[in-house]
Amino acid sequence: MSVRNATYKPWAWTQSLFADGNILRLFIACVAIFVGMSILKPDVFPTAENFLSMGSQFPEIGILAMAIMITMLTGGIDLSVVSIANLSGVLAALVIRALIPADAEAGQVMMGLAAAITAAFLSGALAGLINGALVAYVNLTPILATLGTMTLYTGLTVAMTRGNAVFAENRLVFIGNTNVLGFIPIPLIIFAVVVALFALLLNRTPFGVKVYMIGSNINAARFSGINVRRVLLTTYIISGLLAAVVAVIFLGRNNSAKWDFAPSYVLQAIVVAVLAGVNPSGGSGRVLGIVLAILALQFVSTGMNMLLFTISGGQFFKEFAWGALLLTIMVANHLSEQRRSKSARRPKAE
Amino acid sequence: MADAFLSLSHISKSYAGVQALDDVSLIVKPAEIHCLVGENGSGKSTLIKIIAGVVSPDEGQIVINGKPFPRLAPMDAIREGIQVIYQDFSLFPNLTVAENIALNYELSRNTRIVRWGEVRRLAQAALDKIGVRLPLDAEVESIPVADKQLVAIARALVQNARLIIMDEATTALTEKEIRALFGVIRNVQRDGVAVLFVSHKLNEVLEIADKAMIIRNGKVVVDADAAALDRNKLVYYMTGRRIDEADYDYVPQSKQPLLEVSHLSSPGNFEDISFSLYPGEIVGVTGLLGSGRTELALSLFGVLPAMRGEVRIDGQLVRIRDIQSAIRHGIGYVPEDRLTEGLFLDQSINRNIVIRTIDTLRQAGGLLSPARLEAHAREWINNLSIKTSNPELPVKSLSGGNQQRVVLAKWLASKPRILILNGPTVGVDVGSKTELHEIIKSLAGEGIGILVISDDIPELLHLCNRILLMRRGRLAGMFERAVLDENKLTTLLTESTTIGSAVPSPQVQ
């Protein structure tokens, strides 16, 4: 026991935190944008209303980015996340319509909502299972497999709804409308819980470590006796489950689900993951990076909106701002990487 | 001195306060085969990079062809005829042999049209010059490693090389291929081209070199005619200590074989292999590349499940269908290529060590305990004396020998009963090699049954109490170490006669 205490430093993670240049740069970017915007727009940016509004905007993309992240960590990707979210959302809405009559009492409503959410999660998991099976057992390239299932799930949703939106009878709008304690939107709480669980899963379970190892060297993972197929399968199921969480938030915000909702979120989630420093070829990336990346992007887009509000069309600068931030951080990372590898050409390499 | 092709004098180079080279002088004459010998970290690579103009020295002079180069640029070095063949050969795997050899030269003429006929003619001429035949239109990724090397040499010649530097040229080659390579080097030498051969395989150095220079910790220890050196002296100069390796002394521990393989076959890979392994034994499996030795190992580890035959462990019939079932039966495998099959290069040393046993490192509640994980890894870092300042660093920060220990630690942590080591000391320097041998011997002493797959003859004779010889997928003989010596085993290994010919094999099954 004493040996353990002597060698294990619980605070050691803080060192690696700042040794990780990308996290540090993201953190600086977050603070800089926040401070900058607060100075430029002191009357609207650092205000409770603004925080409330920002806090209700990013959770969906943040959660989708975690789905992208976990698949990227294994060296794959899941392009079908938004189509899974729409499919699960439609199913949940259909369950609500079927089980909760307009004059339902509280108990019936609870049961109905539980069934609807279960339906969303089951369909998310099943869709993820199909993705995982295609990647792990049929050995399709993840980007192609999930491109295919993306179309498949979207098509299924269209067919089920004949292309119409399905309304959730105002049963879930409390998620989008309630602020806990008056200032914390429920989607933000869901986001925080998902972040915490996701971080535990990746850092403190054998499964999480195996995800990183597979992304780092899938061959060595096989030779080390990791059941690579099972880990990959689980990875895509988790991605599907995260999409199902997003489906519930979608329903809470829109009170309806539709096959073509928010298709641009896939690419935006990828932007967040890449900005967070997740290596698209696998093996590295941190949950904290996702949190910082989504915050930085949210600050930038809100700030841009405020700055350009007076110019006509100013509110359409969100994508532009995201692209600019992504490129800035990428270039900074690249330059520091170059500098480091230059100075690292030291005796080790002989 | 006028006749020297390359003359380096008093070269020093330090990186961030670490002295990589200290007052090194080297003279290479035309048509001279010069060997540069040193352990990993001794400064060999830095010296090569200085000669190639990639790294500039802090102090010292470089004179090529009588011309001093105060700041040698890579293009200068190439123009003066210096060609470096790095370990990975820097070939284009998706281009053909002819394209790899001659395209670069053809493109350097700065014309807009590539003359394909000329490319083939140049390539063929270069191959003729070194006296080898290769299919010009084969894609380079499809040809064996040894041939890739020949392509790299031919490419160097097309670019009018006067000095070819070969960095660890023999690491991936079998004895026979090394012979062929040496033939090629002598052909090149006949054309007046000098060769600087960088190696830490000692017997090779003595065989091919006219002159040998040994460096240790950046300093020249010896620069002499190769004829004046012998193996023991080389080891002494390289490591600074005499290595007295005591051969493994097998003491039978049990009458019950740990592993019995009977009539194991995998069509196309190996046929009808039978042998047994007792607790505490180290059995060598040797043969040329393509003899089926690696395939046999992979089959026992479940990567390449055998089609016919039986495997028994402790007398119990087992079926090894995949890696998981091999592991369940207590079999561990240290792969031949530790970079692609053994290590997670970007991951921490800790994670690399614990990945096999990670499922057992959970606390109540099912979460991993970072403290237990670290303590567990530290135990193996200590046991195998892995040298690192911080086990959270990526494993790629370690030297070859220490990396191999990490792979070994990963397996030992899961307490295997049978350990298959494929090329356990490939690419490891002499000092580390000896220490790895000690580790392997002590593991066997604890009752683990070890199969060593290798074509390093001194290593086999040193470690193994029995040696199986494979040839074209079949077992060609089984020998007690007592009846073998280096020459005999070399002859057996490289002999191309068919099975059943007059092989002196007292213990053939």
pLDDT digit string, tens, across residues A141-157: 999 999 999 999 999 99
For range B434-438, the mean pLDDT: 87
Phi/psi at B475 (5° precision): -80, 115
CA B124, CA B139: separation in Å to the nearest integer?
15
What tokens does A249 get?
């938030």
Higher confidence at residue B499 or residue A35? A35
Average pLDDT, chain B: 84
User: pLDDT at position A342, please?
Assistant: 60
Residues B105 and B218 in one domain: yes
Q: Verify whether the Cβ–Cβ distance B344 to A220 is below 8 Å.
A: yes
What CATH number should be reported for the domain holding residue B444? 3.40.50.300
DSSP sequence for B69-115? -SS--HHHHHHTTEEEE-TTTT--TTSBHHHHHHHHHHHTT--SS--
Size of interface A-B (CB pairs under 8 A): 104
The verdict on B363 touching A (C-beta cutoff 8 Å) is no
What tokens does B444 get?
């066997």
Residues B458 and B501 in one domain: yes
Q: Verify whether the Cβ–Cβ distance B344 to A221 is below 8 Å.
A: yes
Q: Is residue B385 part of a domain?
A: yes
The verdict on A349 touching B (C-beta cutoff 8 Å) is yes
Taking CA atoms, what residue in A is nearest to B337?
Answer: A220
Residues B380 and B440 in one domain: no
Residues 6+ apart with CB under 8 A from A73: A202, A211, A212, A215, A235, A278, A282, A283, A284, A285
Residues B273 and B387 in one domain: no
In this structure, how many other beta carbons lie within 10 angstroms of the beta carbon of residue B480? 13
The verdict on B54 touching A (C-beta cutoff 8 Å) is no
Which among B351, B367, B368 is the nearest to A213, CB-wise? B351
The verdict on B22 touching A (C-beta cutoff 8 Å) is no
Q: Verify whether the Cβ–Cβ distance A227 to B324 is below 8 Å.
A: yes
The verdict on B364 touching A (C-beta cutoff 8 Å) is no
| C-beta of residue A143 within 8 angstroms of C-beta of residue A281 | no
Phi/psi at A233 (5° precision): -55, -50
Residues B389 and B267 in one domain: no
Contacts of B41 in chain A (CB under 8 A): 347-348, 350
pLDDT digit string, tens, across residues A67-93: 999 999 999 999 999 999 999 999 999
Q: Is residue B433 part of a domain?
A: yes
Which among B46, B343, B366 is the nearest to A220, CB-wise? B343
Residues B81 and B220 in one domain: yes
Question: What is the distance in angstroms between the Cα of A150 and the nearest Cα belonging to chain B?
Answer: 32
Cα three-residue angle B461-B340-A331, rounded to 5 degrees = 145
CA of A73: how far to CAs of A78, A218, A330, B61, in Å?
A: 11, 11, 18, 49
The domain limits of chain A are 56-270
Is residue A260 predicted with pLDDT exceeding 70? yes
Burial of B421 (0-12, 13-18, 19+ CB in 10 A): buried
Taking CA atoms, what residue in A is nearest to B327?
Answer: A225
Question: What is the distance in angstroms between the Cα of A276 and the nearest Cα belonging to chain B?
Answer: 18
In this structure, how many other beta carbons lie within 10 angstroms of the beta carbon of residue A97? 16
Q: Which of B206, B239, B272 is the last residue of a domain?
A: B239
In this structure, how many other beta carbons lie within 10 angstroms of the beta carbon of residue A122? 15
Q: How many CA atoms lie within 13 A of A257 on its CB side?
A: 34
Q: Is B335 helix (H, G, I), strand (E, B) or coil?
A: coil
Is residue B242 predicted with pLDDT exceeding 60? no
Question: What is the distance in angstroms between the Cα of B158 and the nearest Cα belonging to chain A?
Answer: 29
The verdict on A350 touching B (C-beta cutoff 8 Å) is yes
Question: What is the distance in angstroms between the Cα of A39 and the nearest Cα belonging to chain B?
Answer: 41
Q: Is residue B438 part of a domain?
A: yes
CA B189, CA B162: separation in Å to the nearest integer?
10
Question: What is the distance in angstroms between the Cα of B204 and the nearest Cα belonging to chain A?
Answer: 21
Q: Verify whether the Cβ–Cβ distance A213 to B397 is below 8 Å.
A: no
Q: Is residue B190 part of a domain?
A: yes
Residues B279 and B308 in one domain: yes
User: pLDDT at position A348, please?
Assistant: 38
Question: What is the distance in angstroms between the Cα of B387 and the nearest Cα belonging to chain A?
Answer: 12
pLDDT digit string, tens, across residues B420-433: 999 888 777 777 78
User: pLDDT at position B282, please?
Assistant: 94
* Amino acid at site A70: I
Q: Verify whether the Cβ–Cβ distance B347 to A283 is below 8 Å.
A: yes
State how many domains chain B has.
Answer: 3
Residues 6+ apart with CB under 8 A from A163: A259
Q: Which of B381, B415, B449 is the last residue of a domain?
A: B415
Q: Is B35 helix (H, G, I), strand (E, B) or coil?
A: strand
For range B248-259, the mean pLDDT: 86
Q: Is residue B73 part of a domain?
A: yes
Burial of A312 (0-12, 13-18, 19+ CB in 10 A): exposed
CA A300, CA A329: separation in Å to the nearest integer?
13
Going by pLDDT thresholds of 50, 70 and 90, the confidence category of residue B146 is confident
User: pLDDT at position B497, please?
Assistant: 44
Residues B375 and B497 in one domain: no
Residues B354 and B275 in one domain: no
Q: Is residue B11 part of a domain?
A: yes
User: pLDDT at position B244, please?
Assistant: 61
CA B205, CA B303: separation in Å to the nearest integer?
36
pLDDT digit string, tens, across residues B59-103: 899 999 888 888 888 888 888 889 888 877 788 888 888 888 888
The verdict on B86 touching A (C-beta cutoff 8 Å) is no
| 8-state DSSP, A172 | S
Q: Is residue B46 part of a domain?
A: yes
For chain B, positions 403-442, list CB contacts with chain A under 8 A. Answer: 410, 414
Q: Verify whether the Cβ–Cβ distance A209 to B341 is below 8 Å.
A: no
pLDDT digit string, tens, across residues B188-209: 888 889 999 887 777 777 788 8
Longest distance between any two alpha carbons in chain A, whole Å: 78
Q: Is residue B1 part of a domain?
A: no
CA B285, CA B422: separation in Å to the nearest integer?
9
Q: How many CA atoms lie within 13 A of A205 on its CB side?
A: 12
| 8-state DSSP, A344 | T
Residues B279 and B206 in one domain: no
For chain A, positions 163-222, list CB contacts with chain B under 8 A. Answer: 200, 203-206, 209-210, 212-213, 216-217, 219-222
Could you tell me how many residues make up chain B? 509
Range of the domain at B265: 251-330+416-509
For range B165-174, the mean pLDDT: 78
Q: B161 - beta bridge partners?
A: none
Contacts of B43 in chain A (CB under 8 A): 347, 350
SS3 labels along B184-248 = HHHHHHHCCCEEEEEECCHHHHHHHCCEEEEEECCEEEEEEEHHHCCHHHHHHHHHCCCCCCCCC
DSSP sequence for B470-509? EETTEEEEEEEGGG--HHHHHHHHH--PPTTSS---TT--
Residues B359 and B468 in one domain: no
Going by pLDDT thresholds of 50, 70 and 90, the confidence category of residue A227 is very high
